[in-house]
Each structure stands twice: as C-alpha cells, then as structure tokens.
Structure 1
Amino acid sequence: MTGPAQSAFRPVQSLWTCLSGTLPLLLKLPVCVLVTILLLIVTWIIRPFDRRGAWLRSFTVFWAKTILWICHVRVKTVGLAILDPSEQYVFVSNHASWIDIPILLACLPHHVTFVAKRELFRMPLVGACLRRTGQVPVDRANQQGFVDGLKKAVEALTQNRRCLLLFPAGTRAPSGVGKFKDGAAYLAIRAKLTVVPVGLAGTARAMPRGSVRIQGGTVEVIVGNPIRTADLTVTARGNLTKQLQERVLTLVAVSQHRLRGRQLPQ
C-alpha cells in the first residue's frame, strides 16, 4: 500500500496498536485484582493459625507467580545458589516497574518483608495487602519518620526472622538504576545482617512506568555476592551504599547484555 491510501490507513494502524495493548490489559487487571482479593481473604483466615508465617509465605508466593503468569512475564534467575536458605539477609535491588515486587517475591528463596513508602499503605486494596502481609511503611518526606520506619524494620527482622528487601533509590527508575540512599545500608549495619545486591533487568519493558500496557516478556533476576556487615559501624553506611550501588549497576548491565536480542511479544 502506497501514497494517499497508506497515509489514510496510518491512523487506523496507530489505533490498532493502542488497542492491541489496552484490550488485553482490560482482561488482565480484573483477574489480578480478583487474585489479590483472594490473597487478602486467605491471609485473614489463616492468620490466627500461622504463628511462624509459613502459610503466609506459601500463599504470597502463589499470588506472585499467578500475577506473573497472568501478565505473561517469564523470569530467569542467576546466582540464587550462593544464598543460604537458613540465613537472614537484607536484599537491595534496583526498581523499574510495579512488576518487580511479584518477581522478587516469587523467586527469592526466603520469606521477604518489603520496606515501602507510606503512601502505598493508603491506597485501596494495595494498602490492605501490604498490612496483611506484614510489610513495613516508611515516611520518605519526613526524616524522623523515615528513621522510625527503619527502626521498626529492624525490630521486625529481630522478631520474626524474615529477610528484608529494600529499593534504596526510593522510586522507580525505568532508564536504569536510580541514586541509592543510605537507608538500606544503615538498616543492614544496625541489624548486623548480611546485605545482598540484586539486579533486575527487563522489567521496565515488561510493564513500563506510566503506561497502561502490560507487555510481558522475559526478565532476569541476578543475585550478587553477599556483603557482611558484622564488623561495620553506622559511620560506614555511605561507603556501603556506594559499594551496593556499584554492584547493582554491574549486575543490571550484565543482565541487560544477556537479555539483549530477545524480542518482547507485540
């Protein structure tokens, strides 16, 4: 098709491209919401009988894997073998998409608690899920509130023997790895826990920030070498933060290179 006919057809092509991404979303979102509501109901039922949180973790992992299946996200993992399933860790990761959370819940071999911004706890359904599953809120706009949130996270780690996961950049950075803040390093040093850098690649394309399209595709989670903090003091948090950012940047670059050439479904 050439000439005026091609020009006339171009708006139709643009409309179809938009609808082809939006229509599947209209089907996926209600199913994701339904699965999330079911998780809330289950956690409410089992909470009195699940003192150690084993059932909660099983249902949370099932929820995460179901969300990934609905969104057609395939996860490749690298480096999980270096983790000790019985050890308590603080995981730090880059953050590019909402889909990062179910990805990490599904693939990390530990019961993980997230540190999340307080605003998320005020959102309908999302906030209820975060509270029910024991996630920790922090107030990023208030320094004292932020420190208090980190202290609560340390207390939670001590009490329930879970691992903690933080996004040190504090917000999604689709173009790469955002600048890390020192909260994660501070928390790991205070708790005397080993901190593990984690790189995520491909998630910004699978579920772009600010877009209504869930494109799916293959993403990679790569785990770096753990860093011991037992001999560190809080004055070393700046150096540890810099070290973590450099390692995550390297992990993401390696993963992106591996994923390069794989085409996302149209």
Structure 2
Amino acid sequence: MIFFVPNHESALDIPLVFASIPMHVVSVAKIELSRIPFFGWSMIAGGHFFVDRSNHKKAMRSIEQARISMKKNPRSIFLFPEGTRSLNGKVGRFKKGGLKLAIDLGVPIVPIGIIGTNQFQSNLRRGLNIGSLELNIGKPIQTKKIKEEELPSFVEDLREKVILLKAKDVDQKN
C-alpha cells in the first residue's frame, strides 16, 4: 500500500497519474466527479473515495470512511493534496486530511511532480505545439514514526519535495 501525492494543474493529471503508476490505485477525488454519468459510476464501482470539499465535516467523515475501508481492504491511493487545480502553475498549500490518513495507516507517501499539463491544454486550445508531459516520481517517505504534532512540518516538507520534483526539468535544461 502506497500513497502517491502529485501536484495538480490540469484535468490531464488524472489519466497521466493512472497511466504512469505501475500498480492498481484508487483516488481520493472531489465528490462532483461521482456525479458525472459513466465516469463517476465507474469510479464508484472501482472503489474510489469521494470528498465533499464544500463541507469540512463531511470531508473528514469521508476520510474516516476511507481509513476504515483501507484497513479492511488495503490498496494504493493517489490524491492531490492541494485539493484543487493550481491556476497559476505554482504548487498550492497542501491540505492535511488525506495526508493524515496515510500517516494514521503508516503507509509510505511517494511525492510526484507533474510538468507540462497546464501548458499542454493551453497550447492545444490555441493551436500551438502542445509540448511534452513529464512525471517525476520521488522516493517513498516512511510515515510510521510521524507524530501528530509533526504533521504541519511534515506536510510542508512534502510540499517542498513535490515543488523540487516539478522543477526537475528546469534544472536539467539549465
């Protein structure tokens, strides 16, 4: 069981992550996706978890249900810890709920930097060269020894790792 945590810039991030991770994973997704005919139904049938981002209590209840489900039926998960897409290309603040789930379960977290999906969609709309997409997968981070009071600094450190992985292509070109 592994938690994969990429940055999120575009709807393309979702199929890119699914195609790039060489194992079965389910996602923690916004509840709105569950309401899309066929797509949402297939996510429900596939055992994905849904969070109501507009209601903190319901969101926390969903995370708790995910924790119970994961204990009964362990599987790998990916979630976008920013909770939404970044509109400016910068990695946003990470929310703690889903990451706390990984820590509570003692599951390793793998940071991922996704590069190019925002530009891809923008260029496609304008008829320009669509460029390339890149996914940089970091090393697993063990969570078994992380204490509750360490959660805020852990979340910020994880965000920094994702930022570095997202910037990796820039470093290699300079």
Output the CA distance in 1 between the equivalents of 2:16 and 2:32. Answer: 22
Give CA-to-partner distance per residue, 1:54-103, whole Å, 9 cap, x none: xxxxxxxxxxxxxxxxxxxxxxxxxxxxxxxxxx1111110011111111
Output the CA distance in 2 between the equivalents of 1:162 and 1:213. Answer: 40
1:194 equivalent in alignment to 2:108 = yes
Kept after mapping to 2: 8 A contact 1:90/1:195: yes
Kept after mapping to 2: 8 A contact 1:112/1:165: yes
- Give the corresponding residue for 1:177: 91
Kept after mapping to 2: 8 A contact 1:190/1:234: no
- Give the corresponding residue for 2:144: 230
- Give the corresponding residue for 2:81: 168
Report the CA distance between 1:104 and its aligned residue. Answer: 0.8
What is the TM-score with the length of structure 1 in the denominator?
0.59
Output the CA distance in 2 between the equivalents of 1:155 and 1:254. Answer: 36
What is the TM-score with the length of structure 2 in the denominator?
0.88
Question: Residues 149 and 216 (structure 1 numbering): CA distance in 2 closer, same or farther, change over 3 Å?
Answer: farther
Of residues 70, 94, 97 in structure 2, which corresponds to 1:157? 70
Output the CA distance in 2 between the equivalents of 1:94 and 1:138. Answer: 18
> Structure 1 or 2: larger helix share?
1
1:240 equivalent in alignment to 2:154 = yes
1:207 equivalent in alignment to 2:121 = yes
Give CA-to-partner distance per residue, 1:146-175, whole Å, 9 cap, x none: 111111222232233211111011111142
Q: Kindly, what percent of the aligned residue pairs are identical?
A: 34
SS of 1:197's partner is strand
Q: What is the root-mean-square deviation of aligned Cα atoms in Å?
A: 2.3
Give CA-to-partner distance per residue, 1:87-142, whole Å, 9 cap, x none: x1111110011111111111112211100011111122331122122110011111
Output the CA distance in 2 between the equivalents of 1:163 and 1:213. Answer: 37
Give CA-to-partner distance per residue, 1:204-240, whole Å, 9 cap, x none: 11224xx697975421111112111111233322111
Question: Residues 215 and 249 (structure 1 numbering): CA distance in 2 closer, same or farther, change over 3 Å?
Answer: same
- Give the corresponding residue for 1:135: 48
- Give the corresponding residue for 1:16: none
Aligned residues: 172
Output the CA distance in 2 between the equivalents of 1:244 and 1:216. Answer: 30
Output the CA distance in 1 between the equivalents of 2:43 and 2:131. Answer: 26
Q: Kindly indicate whether structure 1 or structure 2 has the higher relative contact order, using CA contacts under 8 Å at least 6 residues apart.
A: 2
Output the CA distance in 1 between the equivalents of 2:42 and 2:127. Answer: 23
- Give the corresponding residue for 1:146: 59
Name stretches of at least 5 consecutive residues in structure 1 with no aligned partner. 1-87, 261-266
SS of 2:14's partner is helix
- Structure whose alpha-carbon radius of gyration is higher: 1
Report the CA distance between 1:258 and its aligned residue. Answer: 4.3
Of residues 100, 103, 125 in structure 1, which corresponds to 2:38? 125
